[in-house]
Amino acid sequence: MRKRARSIVPVTSVVYRKSKLLMPIYVPKIKREFQRCTQCVMDTTDSMIVFDEEGVCDHCRNFERNIKPYWDPTKENREELEKVAAQIRKDGEGKDYDCILGMSGGADSSYLAYIAKEVMHLRPLIYVVDTGWNLNVAVENIEKIVKGMDLDMYTDVINWKEMSDFQLSMFKSGISSCDAPQDHAIFSSLYNYAVKHKIKWVLTGSNNSTEFVRPPVEWIYMNDLRMYKDIHKKFGKRPMKTYPTCGILKYRLLYKYVYGMKRFYPLDYVVYDKAKAEEFLHEKYGWTKYENKHYENVFTRFFEGYYLPYKFGFDTRKNVFSTQILAGTMTREEALEKLKSNPYDTDQMEQDKEYIAKKLGISVEEFDEIINAPAHIPDDYKNSMWMIRLGVKISQLLGIEKRNMRF
C-alpha cells in the first residue's frame, strides 16, 4: 500500500501565488529553523544541509575540500584535451562522425559545439531531441550554431501523445521531479542513438564551472526508470510504445562496459567563463542569451520558476547562484538581491500555466487542482533509490563524483 502523503505549511517564498490556499510541501527529513549559508545562498529548504560553527554549509566545505584543490578556472589543460581529441579522431576513422553531442540551444551545449569543431577538430553530429516544449529562441540558437559551424544535425521528435501523457502523470503523482519525462527522453534518445550507430564518444556540456552545487535530491530526483513506470502505471492512460528509455543498469553497465560508450567533458579542459562564452557566441554566431539556466524551454521555465517554488518552496536559482559564488563569477550580495525577485515575470507565469494546461489537454482549473493537491515524495512509489544511492557512494569513494550529493 502506498504511503500517505505528508504535508506542512510551505516556506516563505517571494513567488507569486494566485491561490490563497496554504500549499502542501515536501516534509523535510530534518525540521529546523530557517538558516542560510554565510558563504553561498543555499539554505534549509535543502532539508539535509549541514552548517558548521561558522555558518558555512556542507556544499561549500565539500567544494573547498574536494573540488577547489584540483580546479583552476584560469588554466587550460590543452595537452590532455588534445590527447583525448586524438583518440576520438582515431576511434572515428572511417565513420561519418567521430562523436555526438546533444544540443539544447543553451550556452553550455552551444559552446561545447564550438570547442568540439574548432578547437578539438572533431566531426561531431549535433543531436537534438524535440520534446514539444522548446521556445523559438532555442530553435533559432541551434540553427545559428549548426549553420555557423557547418555541422550536421539529427533531430528526434518524441511522440507527443506519449510525452504529454507521461508529463501529466508526473504532475498527478505529486512529486517534485515533474520535468523527468523530458530529461529522461533527452539522454535516453541520445545514448540509444549513439550505441545503435556505433558512435563511441558522447560529448557533454556538463562542467565544474557551472555545476559545483547540484539541486538536492529532494528537489529534483531523476533517472529512476522504475519510479517512472510505477507512476505512469498509476496515472497514465496511454502506453509508452516509442518513448525512449535507458535505465541505470543499461546506461552505467551495458552501454559503458559492453558497448564501450565513453562520455567526455571538454568544458572542464578549457577556461570556461560562461558570461564570456555567451558574449562570444552572440558576437560570432548571433546566439541569444536566456533569462535563467534552462529557460529555453517553456515547460522547464514553468517547472523551475513556478511549480517547484510554489508547491514545494524549492528555488533552483539558489544552487545555480551558489555555484557562481564559489566560481567567483557572482557575489553573494548579488545573488541575494536576485533572489528577492520572482524567477521570472508573474504574468508570463500565468501565461505559461495556461499554455501548458492546454497542451496537456486539461483546463487551467484542472491544472490548478493538480498543482494544489497534496505533495508526495519518491518513497511513495516504487523506486530504485537504493541502487542510485549505492552508485553515487561508489563514485564518491573512487573519486569520480566530487560534488556534495546526499540521499
- 54-98 pLDDT per residue, tens: 999 999 999 999 889 888 888 889 999 999 999 999 999 999 999
Residue type, 347: D
The predicted pLDDT at position 162 comes to 98
pLDDT range class, residue 290, cuts 50, 70, 90: confident
pLDDT for residue 7 is more than 70? no
The predicted pLDDT at position 19 comes to 38
167-171: long-range contacts, CB 8 A cutoff, minimum separation 24: 167/299, 167/360, 168/235, 168/236, 168/360, 168/361, 168/362, 169/231, 169/232, 169/234, 169/235, 169/236, 170/228, 170/231, 171/360, 171/367, 171/370, 171/371
Q: Which residues of 42-73 are buried (b: 16+ CB within 10 A; e: fewer)?
A: bbbbbeebebeeeebbbbbbbbeebeeeebee
pLDDT range class, residue 116, cuts 50, 70, 90: very high
Residues 6 or more apart in contact with residue 45 via CB below 8 angstroms: 11, 313, 314, 315, 318
The predicted pLDDT at position 103 comes to 96
C-alpha span between 213 and 220 (Å, rounded): 13
Cell 497514465 appears where?
236
pLDDT tens-place string over residues 219-232: 878 789 999 999 99
- By mean pLDDT, which of 2-16, 54-68, 364-378 is the weakest? 2-16
The predicted pLDDT at position 385 comes to 80
The predicted pLDDT at position 21 comes to 34
> In what helix (H) or strand (E) does residue 162 lie, and over which residues does it extend?
helix 160-173
DSSP state of 303: I
- Among residues of the chain, what percentage have pLDDT more than 70? 88
User: Within a 13 Å sphere around the CA of 148, how many CA atoms are in the beta-carbon half?
Assistant: 19
pLDDT range class, residue 47, cuts 50, 70, 90: confident
- By mean pLDDT, which of 50-54, 69-73, 264-268 is the weakest? 69-73
pLDDT for residue 340 is more than 80? yes
The predicted pLDDT at position 209 comes to 72
pLDDT for residue 238 is more than 90? yes
The predicted pLDDT at position 2 comes to 35
- By mean pLDDT, which of 158-162, 354-358, 375-379 is the weakest? 375-379
* Domains of the chain listed by start with CATH number: 58-397 (3.40.50.620)
Helix axes 180-196, 225-235, angle to 10 degrees: 120
DSSP state of 291: S
pLDDT range class, residue 18, cuts 50, 70, 90: very low
Tell me the mean pLDDT in the region 195-199: 97
The predicted pLDDT at position 200 comes to 98
C-alpha span between 313 and 201 (Å, rounded): 39
Tell me the mean pLDDT in the region 341-351: 93
